[in-house]
């Protein structure tokens, strides 16, 4: 944990969908938590020697990827790639939410094996934070034969996620609905795969299935990679209380259409963003940033509201203490800017015209993880992050 002062901020984007901009030009962090947001403080920052000068750049919450498929550690057998989580950190992702671990070699499909895999993944990532990234793993993949007692056992072990239904053995909507009720009664969040089939063993799922199951999230409504008909998304919005997810591993046109549909209904709080990676399309370190730029530019939604879809909306869905810049929250922050050469003069205007943001630094629990992203374009401003502050 760390004490830190970030000053000379041009714009603070809160991550809260109902009030997406925060006033002030400074953020104070103490013991890894946000302790002050407002005008550049005097006494509030007493004793803090670690200072970052944002030089007019924008600060937003660290991005929360609502849809990842980890296995163990910072390695994915899906693409035989190491350090993919670290690479996503350099795309601004500080929190990842598992939608299941289906790429585990020899993945078990019996009830005992399913429970063991989920508990192992959960407890493994609870002790391991690759490059500081907070990975919430252990999403149970539903298989025939699981009982309510199994969900009780998993909940007692800390499992809080059900993997996207439709990519594992349970395909019957009545069985899926029964298991969903068992899971939700124990505080688990449930996702349903939607759209076309993704990997062998997955299926095509439309609105009828989602309405029958009543999950917490309708996964990748713009396709993972094949999109739902927009009429199905409208039914999901009408007949369920589920959040609707947009992902990078999907249909760009459909992403804009879904975003416009949700915006027209006045329900932007229901939109969450993920990458759906690693997948057949690979790992997308800038995937969240790219989806944000699609929605802001193609759907013409205010960039500060789009930021909330990748931060506070996801945190609210999962009950996380990150994702919003307010006092008491975990200090997971990004310093972002318009990239060099952009026609825009700041980060929000860059999103509005479809540019990928430059990430100058990702800060987790008040500790800067790098002073220059290796994956995004460089920022227009020369943000001052003393190298001594950066985690080694």
Contact 236, 207 (CB under 8 A): yes
- Identify the CA nearest to 248 among candidates 94, 66, 96: 66
- State the Cα–Cα distance between residues 389 and 72, nearest whole angstrom: 29
Residues whose CB is less than 8 angstroms from the CB of residue 392 and which lie 6 or more positions away in sequence, other chains included: none
- State the Cα–Cα distance between residues 295 and 267, nearest whole angstrom: 15
Please give the model's pTM, rounded to 2 decimal places: 0.96
The DSSP annotation for 235-294 comes to HHHHH---EEEEESSS-HHHHHHHHHHHHHTT-GGGEEEE--BSBTTB--TTHHHHHHHH
Domain(s) of CATH 2.30.40.10: residues in the chain: 4-61+324-389
- State the Cα–Cα distance between residues 262 and 230, nearest whole angstrom: 11
- State the Cα–Cα distance between residues 271 and 97, nearest whole angstrom: 15
- Identify the CA nearest to 62 among candidates 355, 246, 248, 331: 331
CATH code of the domain made up of 4-61+324-389 = 2.30.40.10
pLDDT score at 143? 98
pLDDT score at 198? 65
- State the Cα–Cα distance between residues 173 and 74, nearest whole angstrom: 34
Digitized pLDDT (tens) for each residue of the chain, 392 residues in all? 589 999 999 999 999 999 999 999 999 999 999 999 999 887 777 889 999 999 999 999 999 999 999 999 999 999 999 999 999 999 999 999 999 999 999 999 999 999 999 999 999 999 999 999 999 999 999 999 999 999 999 999 999 999 999 999 999 999 999 999 999 999 999 999 999 776 666 678 999 999 999 999 999 999 989 999 999 999 999 999 999 999 999 999 999 999 999 999 999 999 999 999 999 888 999 999 999 999 999 999 999 999 999 999 999 999 999 999 999 999 999 999 999 999 999 999 999 999 999 999 999 999 999 999 999 999 999 999 999 999 97
Looking at domain 63-285, which of 3.30.420.130, 3.30.1490.190, 3.20.20.140, 3.40.50.300 is its CATH number?
Answer: 3.20.20.140
- State the Cα–Cα distance between residues 168 and 243, nearest whole angstrom: 21
- State the Cα–Cα distance between residues 167 and 201, nearest whole angstrom: 6
Angle between helices 173-184 and 148-156 (to 10 degrees): 40
Domain(s) of CATH 3.20.20.140: residues in the chain: 63-285
- State the Cα–Cα distance between residues 33 and 31, nearest whole angstrom: 6
Tell me the β-bridge partners of 201: none
Q: How many CA atoms lie within 13 A of 387 on its CB side?
A: 0
Pairing between β-strand 51-53 and β-strand 4-7 as defined by DSSP bridges: parallel
């Amino acid at each position: 944990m760390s004490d830190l002062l970030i000053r000379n901020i041009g714009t603070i984007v809160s991550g809260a969908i109902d009030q997406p901009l925060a006033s002030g030009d400074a953020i104070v962090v103490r013991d890894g938590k946000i302790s002050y947001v407002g005008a550049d403080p005097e006494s509030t920052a007493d004793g803090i020697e670690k200072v970052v000068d944002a030089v007019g750049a924008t600060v937003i919450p660290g991005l929360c990827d609502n849809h990842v498929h980890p296995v163990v550690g910072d390695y994915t057998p899906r693409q035989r790639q190491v350090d993919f989580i670290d690479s996503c950190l350099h795309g601004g992702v500080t929190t990842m939410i598992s939608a299941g671990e289906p790429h585990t070699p020899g993945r078990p499909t019996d009830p005992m094996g399913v429970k063991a895999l989920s508990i192992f993944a959960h407890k493994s990532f609870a002790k391991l934070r690759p490059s500081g990234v907070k990975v919430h793993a252990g999403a149970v993949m539903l298989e025939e034969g699981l009982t309510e007692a199994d969900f009780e056992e998993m909940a007692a072990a800390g499992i809080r996620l059900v993997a996207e239904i439709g990519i594992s053995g349970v395909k019957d909507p009545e069985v899926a609905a029964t298991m969903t009720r068992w899971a939700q009664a124990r505080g688990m969040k449930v996702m349903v795969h939607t759209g076309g089939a993704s990997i062998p063993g997955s299926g095509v799922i439309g609105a009828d299935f989602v309405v029958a199951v009543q999950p917490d999230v309708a996964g990748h409504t713009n396709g993972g990679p094949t999109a739902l008909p927009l009429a199905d998304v409208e039914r999901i919005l009408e007949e369920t209380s589920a959040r609707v997810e947009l992902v990078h591993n999907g249909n760009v046109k459909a992403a804009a259409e879904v975003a416009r549909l949700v915006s027209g209904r006045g329900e932007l709080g229901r939109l969450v963003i993920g990458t759906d990676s690693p997948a057949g399309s690979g790992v997308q370190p800038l995937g969240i940033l790219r989806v944000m730029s699609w929605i802001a530019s193609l759907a013409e939604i205010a960039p500060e509201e789009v930021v909330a879809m990748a931060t506070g909306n996801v945190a609210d869905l999962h009950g996380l203490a990150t994702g919003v810049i307010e006092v008491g929250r975990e200090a997971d922050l990004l310093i972002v800017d318009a990239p060099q050469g952009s026609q825009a003069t700041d980060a929000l205007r860059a999103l509005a015209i479809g540019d990928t943001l430059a990430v100058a630094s990702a800060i987790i629990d008040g500790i800067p993880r790098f002073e220059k992203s290796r994956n995004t374009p460089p920022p227009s401003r020369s943000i001052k992050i003393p190298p001594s502050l950066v985690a080694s």
